[in-house]
Structures are given as C-alpha cells and as structure tokens.
Amino acid sequence: MRTRWLVNFALLLLVAGIVAFLYLRPAEKEELAQQYPVSSLKLADFSRLSVEFPAKAPVVFDKVDGFWYLAQPYKARADQMTVQRILSIVAAKSPEQFPGNDLARFGLDNPRLKLKLDQEEFIFGIYNPVSAEQYVAYKDAVYLVPPIYSETASTQIVELLDKSPLKPTEKVSGFDFSRLEQWEDVRLQVDLTDDAKWKVSLQNAKPDQQAMNEWYDTYWGKIRASAVEPYTPDRKASYPSFSVKLKDGKKVHFDKLQEAPELILGRPDEGMRYHFPADAGFALLNPPIGLAK
C-alpha cells in the first residue's frame, strides 16, 4: 500500500511540474507580421530610371553596358550603389496593402515624387504620422515603405554622381606625370608591367613594390573625390596636366586646375571636375618611387 501511495505521489508531482512548466514558460514569439511585396520586378530588368518631381525637370539615368549614367540634366557617370538603392523599391515589402481607389487619402493625387523604371511607375505620397513610412502606389495597390527610397532619389544631383576619377571599366597600366611641375624636369613615367611589377623611368629610382601597390590601391583604386561637378574646359587656358595610361592602349587626360587649399582635377573628355583634400591630392600625384638621395 505504501509503495502504491509513493508512486501516486510521484505521478502527482510530475503532473504538477508539467502544469507549472506550461503555465510559466515564456510565451511563443508571435508569428511574423505578413509582408506584402510591392512588386515582383527585378533590379536587372531596367535600362532607364526617371525621377520626376512636381515643380522641376526630371533627373534621368540610362544603363549603358551594365553601368548607370546620368542622362539629364547633363551627361555624367552615376554612383552605381546610389542608383541601385533607388531601384530597390521594386524589392520593397510593406506591412500594409490598400486598394488604390482613393489616392487622395494617401496624398497620391498630388504626388511628391514619381519613379519611372522603363514603363513601370511608382508614385510616392504622404508619410504615415505613426510609423513615418511613406505611402507608395504601384499598379492598383498602395503600400507603406521606408522613406529611404524617395529620400535617396531626391538627393542633390551632384551627390548622385560617381566620385571616382576613373570609370569602373578603365584598367590602369601606368601614369605619365611628365607635364606636372614637380616631375617636368625628369619627365616621370610610371608603368605597371605584364608581371604586375611597377617600373619607373628614372635610373636613380628604386621603387618598393609593396609601397607602390599600396599607393595605387589607396590613392587610385579606392579614392573618391570629396565633391564632383560639371567642368567646361577653357580652351585658351593652359594647365599642368598628366595622363593615366590604360591597358587597352588609351590614355585619360587630367588638368590640374588647383593645388591648394585643395586639389582640383578636371577631366575634359567627360566634362567633370573632381575635388580632393590637399593631403590626399598630394599623394595622388606623387608616387613613392624611391629616389636615391
């Protein structure tokens, strides 16, 4: 009898423990709220992007050979990542989906912005006062999306431009610095050989290959201008200049328009001007060629 009582008591404790566990255990995480895709379009589907405002001319980008370029109001290389951020509206998801039969409710009857991706159109309205998200109409529905899409598209044009002085497709094989004041007497040429070694035209130069690679990577491979703007060359003016040699045999000419308090380089073939801090600008035009003293 005593044994049976102990067994029953143990079972009672077990049941009590299970009940307590079920009662006290942390609540299961709520299922993730449903997300509505704004579209089923793909980023790679488009070759033209038009950013249209209510009271000013549109800003237009064209995709050429896989890269985005500003087409209006003037021609220039675009910053690829910035354009991709604007285009990513096609992959946005929304916590809400509303029928598009009352556009005035969402400020879409007088849109703040329109994005046209080829023939597809995304219309941006007012902001939700609670979530600070923005209402966007696409096709027959209205969605709520983060404001990053319209804010990026509304950025000043100069901030949408590529700040690299070289195109992504331009592969460097050397530099002709012979027309710069500091190198004019020695007619400096710096070349990258087929076996990836740096060669300097001066007999008394002993370039450290690692130092040269770091110079090129830091000051030509990765450097970005602090500002960029359109440049109309003055055909009557004469500036110190240099050329970047490319692997396809071509050269890119740069005018040195200013040295201090910042370096300003003009690229006539693209009609753009690049601004660099003085220290970075000095390093850009003075490779560590290891001149013997």
Contact 226, 275 (CB under 8 A): yes
**Pick from 216, 219, 261, 265: which is nearest to 242 by CA?**
265
How much is the pLDDT for 34? Answer: 87
pLDDT of 18: 52
Residue 7: predicted pLDDT: 45
**pTM of the entire predicted model:** 0.81
User: What's the whole-number average pLDDT of the chain?
Assistant: 90
How many whole angstroms separate alpha carbon 122 and alpha carbon 108? 10
The whole-number pLDDT of residue 237 equals 87
Q: Give the residue from 144, 134, 140 showing the smallest Cα distance to 101.
A: 140
pLDDT, tens digit, 9 for 90 and up, residues 121-174: 999 999 999 999 999 999 999 999 999 999 999 999 999 999 999 999 999 999
| Structure tokens that stand for 105 in this block | 């409710």
pLDDT at 183 over 80: yes
Asked if 117 contacts 83 with a C-beta cutoff of 8 angstroms, the reply is no
Which string of DSSP letters, residue by residue, matches 112-143? SEEEEETTEEEEEEEEPTTT--EEEEETTEEE
C-alpha 120/C-alpha 138 separation (Å) is 8
Q: Can you tell me the distance from the alpha carbon of 29 to that of 280, in angstroms, rounded to the nearest whole number?
A: 52
What are the tens digits of pLDDT across the range 197-237? 999 999 898 999 999 999 999 999 999 999 999 999 988 88
Q: For residue 64, report the phi and psi dihedrals to the nearest 5 degrees.
A: -130, 120
pLDDT range class, residue 117, cuts 50, 70, 90 = very high
The pLDDT assigned to 88 comes to 97
The answer to whether the beta carbons of residues 149 and 48 sit under 8 Å apart is: no
- Sign (positive or negative) of CA dihedral 202, 208, 210, 216: negative
